[in-house]
């Protein structure tokens, strides 16, 4: 089944559109030969935008080839809306996948008491900076909603007003930009419950006392500290941020 594959998890790279174009042209040529035509008018084909020609061919092709062309249309759409896997964002030059991975790693390390709150916040601010630039360049990326909610949820676990502010603004970003997603529903629920300013956990105090040199109090002012207001930008300032 062509459409049983999780297309929303597709991470394109820069060659995806070229592959889609080559496949489309080959399928069009096959259709032309099947109908007794000697040659498909490739010049006219290339004169149209990729998505338009794919849709046109899918509408005029048999079921099997039409389904294949439809899948190529979907590939082309994802390639144009999702961030390529080899494009990098923010001060740390993270890919979209790296932003998600780093956030999950920070959550694991913080909850396992391997990172202090201030260390986690410092690294999460840098990760969010990459997320902001990713969201600014690819605002319709299907990964943004889940990633934005993931970052917001980690901020909500951290103590202090800075973490709370970023959590709230990311929840607002997700619910505003992806209103029909399950992450928007979860964000609305979190905002409805209220995001409290958490106190410094006791285990962190003990950890600092045991190893004072292991607690470099990262100043949020040393890293991007803005949170997305209505839409994240590559250099969000004054109010941040999902692909």
Are 104 and 217 in a shared domain? yes
Residue 235 lies in a domain: no
Q: DSSP for 77-112?
A: HHHHHSPPTT--BTTTTB-HHHHHHHHHHHHHHHHT
Burial class (CB in 10 A: 0-12, 13-18, 19+), 238: exposed
Q: Tell me which DSSP letter residue 38 carries.
A: S
Residue 90 lies in a domain: no
Q: 172 in helix, strand or coil?
A: helix
- For the stretch 201-228, pLDDT in tens is 999 999 999 986 655 444 343 444 444 4
Number of domains present in the structure of the chain? 2
Are 50 and 162 in a shared domain? no
Are 100 and 215 in a shared domain? yes
* pLDDT for residue 138 is more than 90: yes
Are 102 and 216 in a shared domain? yes
* pLDDT for residue 50 is more than 80: no
Domain that holds residue 57: 2-81
User: Mean pLDDT of all residues in the chain?
Assistant: 75
- For the stretch 179-199, pLDDT in tens is 999 999 999 999 999 999 999
Q: 159 in helix, strand or coil?
A: strand
Separation CA 33–CA 28 (nearest Å): 9
Rounded to the nearest 10 degrees, the angle between the axes of helix 182-193 and helix 161-177 is 140
- For the stretch 92-129, pLDDT in tens is 999 999 999 999 999 999 999 999 999 999 999 999 99
Query: Taking Cα atoms as reference points, which of 156, 160, 143, 146 lies closest to residue 107?
Result: 156
Q: Tell me which DSSP letter residue 215 carries.
A: -
Are 143 and 43 in a shared domain? no
- Sign of the C-alpha dihedral, residues 73, 76, 80, 84? positive
> Taking the CB of residue 192, how many other CB atoms lie within 10 A of it?
7
Residue 232 lies in a domain: no
């Amino acid at each position: 089944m062509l459409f049983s594959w999780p297309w929303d998890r597709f991470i394109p790279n820069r060659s995806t559109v070229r592959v889609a174009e080559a496949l489309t042209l080959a399928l069009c040529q096959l259709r032309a030969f099947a109908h007794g035509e000697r040659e498909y008018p490739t010049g006219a084909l290339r004169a149209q935008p990729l998505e338009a020609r794919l849709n046109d061919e899918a509408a005029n092709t048999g079921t099997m080839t039409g389904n294949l062309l439809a899948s190529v249309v979907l590939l082309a759409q994802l390639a144009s809306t999702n961030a390529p896997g080899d494009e990098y964002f923010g001060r740390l030059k993270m890919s979209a996948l790296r932003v998600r991975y780093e956030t999950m790693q920070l959550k694991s390390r913080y909850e396992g008491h391997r990172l202090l709150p201030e260390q986690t916040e410092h690294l999460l601010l840098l990760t969010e900076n990459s997320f902001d630039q990713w969201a600014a360049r690819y605002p319709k990326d299907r990964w943004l909603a889940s990633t934005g909610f993931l970052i917001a949820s980690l901020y909500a676990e951290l103590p202090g007003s800075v973490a709370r502010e970023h959590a709230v603004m990311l929840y607002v970003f997700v619910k505003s930009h992806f209103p029909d997603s399950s992450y928007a529903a979860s964000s609305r629920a979190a905002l409805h419950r209220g995001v409290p300013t958490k106190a410094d956990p006791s285990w962190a105090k003990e950890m600092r006392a045991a190893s004072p040199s292991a607690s470099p109090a990262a100043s949020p002012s040393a890293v991007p500290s803005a949170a997305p207001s209505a839409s994240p930008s590559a250099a969000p300032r004054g109010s941040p941020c999902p692909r």
